[in-house]
């Protein structure tokens, strides 16, 4: 770092010296020097017309260099006299005016100091030449770089530790789909013998963070071939033709290094459907896409070049990209299921010190909808919290807090609610909890809290009882009912409503509209009236096509309102019948602020919170013996507080 800083300061230092040198030269050029004879000088001295005399001996020439200024000279005017190097010269000057009405100075002989001579006479010239050469070389370098703008920005992967399938967890089917590519790159003759044509391109489609890039790196690592990485945005530039030039250069490099693998991340940046949106069909992006299509057609199927592209917006890609002979195969990389999440957590937990109470299986069950990137971030946040709390292990306490941080953001402990607001939030969340308990197909309550996070005053963590890929009408209706529980609880217990349910209404309305317009789950019949459409800048038309009349639109609104109202009445009926349970959960929320699934279940069965064993009163030796019995690792080196914390985590896990 320091080396780079010093290197960066050199041009500025040279520039300063250059400016000073120019100033020195200009200052010399603006002065006027008059040549005088020695006799004339003596005459001027006798006439009392000398203001200043500077005497400099020059041994190399055997002379005195006498300079100075007369009283009648201008500001930048001086005289110069050469006299023989004899001792009488100085005395004659002094004796010519006994009163010494002028100033006499002497300077050392420049010939006696070679260094001074070089500094004064030679160094400025050298610096001027050096600075001129430096600026010239910089200009040539810039010109060379400007000529490289059409070169490919594809980067060759040079990581020391190659990524393999061992590093890719939770993608069993996806890895099977790409194994053929590895076999082809290792032994292409095996496929050529049977006349098989390996896919030229594979398109990985899926939400962000699901491991598309990691899977592509693993293919290259398993095949042990060069891996070129480039983003779709690297092709697009302001100047027309640059993107197409980079595509040509990329394929040129790939052919020289075949067999190899090219990975284009976020291909939708350059591969969006042509002729759509406001830009028309003659922009730089489309020319780049045309060149990409041409290059993919230009190399043979068995040349040893395979293109893997990734996107989370396959719906906006140009159809020409997806036809056979280009991206022949599409592999969908979905969010991991519970088993996949457990495997992903195991990979990211390799370098983490987890407490014995932390089980990855339970953690995987509590994180539905998390991508691989989300799970990695979850464990990292938990590790940071453990360091912050001066712990040697990551406990369930840090895991819970990290989960809340990922979902809702950090706790706003400084945010103070009034007592009435706090009570309203407690009853709101209690309404969600009770409906989650009483409805068979509603989401399961894992945790509820009234600690404010982000913009939420509190929240209930609810996950599906089972991971399913389809939903019945009954399940969707009960999901809507559960979402409306907070507002209903406010109305029943306070006769007043707040703005806290706006996010619940947003989710409920979205489900109800999908039931009517997409799923055919209303009195309008099994008709799809709407479908998901992209925006103008995502490759779709500017105007969204309506396939229903204004009368049908009115009927859609009526059906949505009917669904919401029926679910609202169902929620009101259930909460009215269980007002005591709502009050019980709300009161305990006001006291403890956070309730876990186990605590809620105990409350429902016993009507009170479980009595916790007061571990803090026990001695350190007693706590260590309990930790030993429960199989807690590292108990002998733990402090009393650490022992208490780990024992509580172990009991919660049990």
Catalytically active residues, by annotation: 429
Dihedrals φ, ψ of 587, to 5°? -65, -40
b/e per residue 582-601 (b: at least 16 CB within 10 A) = bebbbebbbeeeebbbebbe
What contacts 119, CB < 8 A, 6 or more positions away?
A: none
Sheet strands (E) in 278-352: 305-311, 327-332
Q: What angle (nearest 5°) sits at the alpha carbon of residue 340, between those of residues 334 and 343?
A: 140
* Token pair in block for residue 477: 């209706």
**H/E run at residue 633:** none
What is the rounded distance in angstroms from the CA atom of residue 360 to the CA atom of residue 399?
11
Residue of 189, 205, 167, 183 whose CA lies nearest to 308: 205
Contact 184, 225 (CB under 8 A): no
> Distance (Å, rounded) from C-alpha 252 to C-alpha 255?
5
Query: To 10 degrees, the CA torsion angle through 136, 139, 140, 143?
Result: -170
Q: Is 203 helix (H, G, I), strand (E, B) or coil?
A: strand
User: Within 13 A of 195's CA, how many CA atoms are on the CB side?
Assistant: 0
And the tokens for 123?
A: 């160094």
CA–CA gap between residue 491 and residue 571 (Å, rounded): 11
Q: Which residues contact 206 (CB under 8 A, 6 or more apart)?
A: 212, 312, 332, 333, 334, 335
The answer to whether 503 and 441 are in contact (CB under 8 A) is: no
Residue 369 to residue 371: CA distance in whole angstroms:
6
Closest among 587, 527, 534, 581 to 559, alpha carbons compared: 527
Degrees to nearest 5, angle at CA 117 with 113 and 119: 115
| Cα-trace Rg, the chain | 41
Distance of alpha carbon 359 from alpha carbon 109, whole angstroms:
88
Peptide bond into 179 cis (omega under 30): no
DSSP H helices, 519-638, are 550-577, 579-592, 597-606, 620-629
Roughly how many angstroms between the first and final C-alpha of the chain, as a whole number? 52
Spatial contact of 590 and 571, defined as CB atoms under 8 Å apart = no
Nearest Cα to Cα of residue 478 among 455, 447, 508, 521:
508
Strands 63-70 and 50-58: antiparallel
Q: How many CB atoms lie within 10 A of CB 319?
A: 8
For residue 390, give the DSSP letter: T
CA dist 549 and 555 (Å) reads 10
Q: How is residue 228 written in tokens?
A: 């070129």
Q: Could you give the C-alpha distances from 529 to 315, 516, 518, 524, 526, in angstroms and in order? A: 19, 8, 6, 10, 9
Sheet strands side by side (includes 594-596): 459-463, 444-449, 594-596
């Amino acid at each position: 770092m320091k080396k780079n800083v010093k290197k960066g300061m050199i041009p500025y230092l040279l520039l300063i010296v250059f400016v000073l040198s120019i100033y020195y030269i200009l200052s010399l050029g603006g002065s006027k020097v008059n040549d005088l004879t020695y006799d004339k000088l003596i005459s001027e001295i006798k006439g009392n017309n000398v203001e200043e005399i500077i005497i400099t001996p020059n041994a190399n020439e055997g002379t005195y260099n006498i300079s100075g200024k007369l009283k009648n000279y201008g500001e930048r005017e001086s005289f110069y006299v050469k006299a023989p190097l004899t001792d009488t010269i100085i005395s004659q000057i002094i004796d010519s005016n006994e009163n010494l009405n002028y100033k006499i100075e002497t300077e050392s002989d420049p010939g006696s100091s070679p260094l001074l001579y070089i500094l004064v006479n030679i160094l400025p010239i050298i610096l001027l030449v050096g600075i001129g050469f430096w600026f010239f070389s910089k200009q040539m370098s810039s010109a060379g770089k400007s000529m490289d703008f059409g070169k490919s920005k594809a980067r060759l992967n040079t990581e020391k530790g190659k990524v393999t399938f061992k590093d890719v967890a939770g993608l069993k089917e996806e890895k099977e789909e790409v194994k053929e590519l590895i076999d082809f790159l290792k032994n292409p003759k095996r496929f050529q013998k049977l006349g098989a044509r390996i896919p030229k391109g594979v398109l990985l489609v899926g939400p962000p963070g699901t491991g598309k890039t990691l899977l592509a790196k693993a293919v290259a690592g398993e095949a042990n071939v060069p891996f070129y990485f480039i983003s779709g945005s690297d092709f697009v530039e302001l100047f027309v033709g640059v993107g197409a030039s980079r595509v040509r250069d990329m394929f040129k490099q790939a052919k020289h290094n075949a067999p190899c693998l090219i990975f284009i991340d976020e291909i939708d940046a350059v591969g969006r459907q042509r002729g759509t949106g406001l830009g028309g069909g003659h922009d730089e992006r489309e020319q780049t896409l045309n060149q990409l299509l041409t290059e993919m057609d230009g190399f043979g199927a068995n040349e040893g070049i395979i293109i893997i592209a990734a996107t989370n917006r396959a719906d906006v890609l140009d159809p020409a990209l997806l036809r056979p002979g280009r991206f022949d195969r599409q592999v969908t990389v979905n969010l991991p299921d519970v088993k996949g999440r457990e495997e992903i957590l195991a990979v990211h937990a390799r370098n983490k010190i987890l407490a014995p109470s932390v089980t990855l299986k339970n953690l995987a069950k509590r994180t539905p909808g998390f991508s691989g990137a989300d799970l990695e971030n979850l464990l990292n946040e938990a590790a940071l919290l453990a360091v912050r709390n001066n712990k040697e292990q990551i406990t369930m306490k840090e895991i819970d807090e990290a989960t809340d941080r990922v979902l809702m953001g950090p706790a706003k402990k400084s945010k103070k609610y009034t007592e009435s607001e706090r009570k309203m939030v407690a009853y709101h969340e209690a309404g969600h909890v009770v409906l989650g308990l009483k409805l068979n197909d509603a989401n399961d309550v894992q945790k509820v809290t009234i600690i404010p996070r982000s913009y939420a005053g509190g929240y209930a963590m609810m996950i599906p009882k089972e991971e399913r890929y389809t939903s019945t009408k009954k399940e969707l209706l009960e999901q809507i009912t559960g979402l409306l529980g907070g507002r209903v609880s406010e109305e029943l217990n306070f006769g007043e409503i707040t703005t806290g349910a706006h996010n619940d209404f947003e989710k409920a309305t979205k489900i109800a509209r999908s039931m009517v317009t997409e799923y055919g789950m209303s009195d309008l019949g099994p008709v799809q009236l709407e479908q998901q459409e992209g925006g103008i800048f995502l490759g779709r038309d500017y105007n969204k096509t309506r396939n229903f009349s204004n009368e049908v639109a009115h009927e859609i609104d009526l059906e949505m309102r009917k669904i919401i109202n029926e679910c609202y009445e169902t929620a009101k009926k259930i909460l009215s019948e269980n007002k005591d349970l709502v009050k019980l959960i709300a009161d305990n929320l006001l006291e403890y602020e956070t309730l876990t699934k186990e605590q809620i279940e105990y409350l429902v069965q016993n009507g009170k919170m479980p009595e916790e064993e007061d571990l803090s009163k026990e001695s350190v030796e007693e706590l260590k013996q309990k930790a030993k019995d429960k199989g807690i690792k590292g108990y002998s080196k733990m402090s009393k507080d650490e022992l208490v914390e780990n024992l509580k985590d172990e009991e919660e896990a049990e």
